[in-house]
Amino acid sequence: MRIRFMHLADLHLGFEQYHVPQRAMDFQRTFQRAVDDALGEDVDFVILAGDLFHQRTLQPRTLQLAERELERLRTAGKPVIAVVGNHERPMQNSRESWLDYLAGRGLLSLLSPRYSREGELVISPLEPTSGKGAYVDVGPARLYGIAFYGATLPRMVADLAGYLAQQERRPAFTILVMHAGLEGVLPNFSANVTSTDLAALRPHIQYLAMGHVHKPFELDGWIYNPGSLEPVNIAETAYRGGGYLVDVDTAREPAIRAAHRPYWTRPFLRLALTATGYATPEALHAGVKRHLAEQGEARRRDEAAGDRQPMVEYTLHGVLQFPRDALDAQQLEEAVREALNPLHVRINITATPPDYEVAGAEAEMSRPELERRVLRDLIAGDGRYRGAAEALADLALETKRMTLDKADPAAIIEHLRAGRQRIMQTEQGDHANHAG
């Protein structure tokens, strides 16, 4: 048996990153390139593992452009199988999302099981009229899906594994599409499922198509996460997300060959200069200009850089020899714009006056590590929370990241609820162990 498919996730269409309208078009163009690739490679179907859209409320143009690309796939006879991500869940007091609308139009198949009033997991085949169900068969492959379920996901995974174990007839190849965070992949990331949770699925699922974590990863030859199709945060350029072109041939070993393909083309420059050693603001500004001139020259020599305006993050770190308020951030931004002609500039000033210089082991820490250490110590200073200081610090930092990334408020609330539940469960376990 042979099949070929494209696995995409976290497209975040409609996202005007840093309030720059051109970035929304970048997200759309990247999707177009992925669709071009899927059509050129003659895939049998395309998987969208959640967060096709960046938010629940859409601009008409965003919906229109998404429909256009999905129509291209439908016209070519390439089914699209999708699950709802945390960014596109139904609005409050509504039972349907924009993905339900697209499913009703026949542009994609929307998968996820549900629970009955009696608490039983309902696994039903795709209903052609609504375009929704728990699973769908495409050729010799059967695809199940699980939408973003937050803290209830481990239970659903266990119930699905139990259902699959009871099935006497098994398809030639089984795929599960799931939008969920896997524990241990990213630091300070609120995961809602563990490798232990997923292990129960291993005998029944040959390919687990994940989304939600924006960093690409592969695990044990069956779990695949392509990462965000376009960087949602400039920090995500440290690992280049994209999509998987997957070839399956059950007559060979290993049966799965997944090639990761990046699609975004906008340059991202993360530049940094130490302020240590510059005695005056004027000297530091002159040093910044020299540094930027070197970067601009290097970029002009780099043929691969192209002529697209870059997104630039410029950081000043180290120890200042003068008061912090003597630095002019606007002047720094103007220097970056003059040297690099960027689409957008972010100025980060993490340099500290000598009074705040850290020493010893803390001096070797990265800024995120130091921030976590300080936050943890502040929390631990309150005896009520000392035992949960590590977990609370991680929860606060991930909430901060989601807020800065303009995550959907409901997703932030769900993240806080799930984090609170995990901390309470940990504390209850610690109390039980202590009592024992």
| Per-residue model confidence as pLDDT tens digits over 220-255 | 999 999 999 999 988 899 889 999 999 999 999 999
Q: Is 424 exposed, middle or buried (0-12, 13-18, 19+ CB in 10 A)?
A: exposed
Chain segment 201-217, per-residue pLDDT in tens:
999 999 999 999 999 99
Both tokens assigned to 300: 């002009």
Per-residue pLDDT tens over the stretch 38-67: 999 999 999 999 999 998 888 999 999 999
The whole-number pLDDT of residue 435 equals: 47
Residue 304 pLDDT = 63
What is the rounded average pLDDT of the residues 103-124? 93
pLDDT score of 432 more than 80: no
- Gap between the Cα atoms of 387 and 346, Å rounded: 37
Report, as an integer, the average pLDDT of 371-398. Answer: 79
- pTM equals 0.80
In angstroms, rounded to a whole number, what is the distance separating the alpha carbons of residues 142 and 156?
18
Average pLDDT over the chain, rounded to an integer:
88
Match 């609370």 to its residue by tokens: 392
pLDDT bucket at 426, cuts 50 / 70 / 90 = low
> 124 pLDDT band (50/70/90 cuts)?
very high
pLDDT (0 to 100) of residue 375 = 80
Q: At residue 122, what are phi and psi to the nearest 5 degrees?
A: -100, 115
Higher pLDDT, 436 or 210: 210
Rounded to an integer, what distance in angstroms lies between the CA atom of residue 34 and that of residue 32? 5
Instruction: Please tell me the predicted confidence (pLDDT) of residue 61.
Output: 93
Predicted confidence (pLDDT) at residue 434 exceeds the cutoff of 50: no
Please count the residues of the chain: 436
